[in-house]
Amino acid sequence: MPAPAATTAAATDRATGPVLEVDHVSVRFGSQQVLRDISLSIGAAETVVILGESGCGKTVLLKTLIGLVRPSAGEIRFEGKSLSRLTDRQVAGVRTRYGFVFQGAALFDSLSIFDNIAFPLREHTRIPESQVVEIVDDLLAEVGLPRSAAAKKPVELSGGMRKRAGLARALALEPPVVLYDEPTTGLDPIMSDVINELILRVSHRGGVTSVVVTHDMNTARKVADRIIMLYPLFRLAPTDSQIVFEGTPAELDRCRDPRIRQFVEGRAGNRLTELRDEQERAATTAQEPTADGRGAGASGDES
């Protein structure tokens, strides 16, 4: 597939050091802290899977990598440049070097599949429409969609087809980094494996760096070079690291940490009781008066 003129140089001039660096990042929404002192680096052409139960901050971390969420502390560096030191306009420019595959595909309902995939090309490049058509045709073939899908609206496609169309759109600008938010959620096992194969194919084309947020252990084992597991802050002591595991899929399977075994094996344990207690604590905190006499939850600053 011919690369858009605006991205050709970027695609051939990849950083030799870490592509993404997370340096002591914390994220807080009002009184609720979601991420605490997270540090990690992701190399060129590496596929990193971020695991963890719901509410541990996986998607928030993904959004900090692309500058959609600004850290409360610490910084995110892309190819050595700190996003916190860039203007909003500069950050928007950096985002064109990421592909983002949303959990629900996030296609524009009013546009055809062709126009959805063509959107970033028309928005961020000045290539002629004849080349846009060629690139979209190539992308449809790459993700296994028939040409007949191009004229359809998203509502006319199955969930798996919408996911693949979303991936095609994410690849339109030949980004050096692709971020996936729960790419197999809601899909049957066969279609989930199709998406996993596509993730592998994308990661091998041109040295693409991939970050995959998922609950799916099949996806983690199949696509990951390295797995990072986050743990919910409310279940950790103030001095505990929120990253409870970092290593290969084989090392994850050998790890005997009970927190990790519970997640990997899908065992509830005493989580039902913990969830009830957590909700009771949250309700009590919301009712506690603050300095201005309002409840702690009255700020409206909730995630």
Average pLDDT value for the chain: 85
CA distances from 129 to 6, 133, 148, 172 (A): 15, 6, 19, 14
Domains within the chain, CATH numbers bracketed: 18-97+177-251 (3.40.50.300), 101-172 (no CATH)
Query: CB under 8 Å to 232, separation ≥6 — which residues?
Result: 52, 53, 55, 56, 57
Q: Is the pLDDT of residue 44 over 60?
A: yes
pLDDT at site 186: 87
168 close to 154: Cβ distance less than 8 angstroms: no
pLDDT band at 84 (very low <50, low <70, confident <90, very high): confident
What is the rounded average pLDDT of the residues 273-286? 60
pLDDT at residue 102 greater than cutoff 80: yes
Sheet strands (E) in 46-185? 47-51, 73-78, 81-82, 98-101, 177-181
The pLDDT of residue 286 is: 53
- pLDDT of 302: 33
Q: Among 44-48, 130-134, 269-273, 290-294, which stretch is predicted with the lowest mean pLDDT? A: 290-294
pLDDT band of residue 225 (cuts 50, 70, 90) is: very high
Give the model's pLDDT for residue 201: 92
Q: How far apart are CA 144 and CA 134, in angstroms?
A: 16
The whole-number average pLDDT for the span 28-53 is 94
pLDDT of residue 9: 39
d(CA 72, CA 183): 27
Which whole number is the average pLDDT over 275-282? Answer: 60
pLDDT band, residue 82 (cuts 50/70/90): very high
User: Is residue 204 predicted with pLDDT exceeding 70?
Assistant: yes
Take residue 2 and report the two structure tokens written for it.
């011919």
In the prediction, which pLDDT does 280 show? Answer: 67
Instruction: Report, as an integer, the average pLDDT of 166-185.
Output: 94
Residue 16 three-state SS: coil
Specify the higher pLDDT residue, 298 or 224. 224
Q: Return d(Cα 177, Cα 295) in angstroms, integer.
A: 42
What pTM does this model have?
0.82
Query: How do residues 143-154 score in pLDDT, each as one tens digit?
Result: 999 999 999 999
CA distances from 238 to 54, 241, 242 (A): 20, 8, 10
Residue 117, C-beta contacts closer than 8 angstroms, at least 6 positions apart:
136, 139, 140, 165, 168, 169, 172
- pLDDT surpasses 70 at 291: no
pLDDT band at 83 (very low <50, low <70, confident <90, very high): very high
Strands (E), the chain: 18-29, 32-43, 47-51, 73-78, 81-82, 98-101, 177-181, 209-213, 226-230, 243-247
Distance CA 3, CA 204 (A): 16
Asked if residue 176 lies in contact with residue 19, where contact means CB atoms within 8 angstroms, the answer is yes
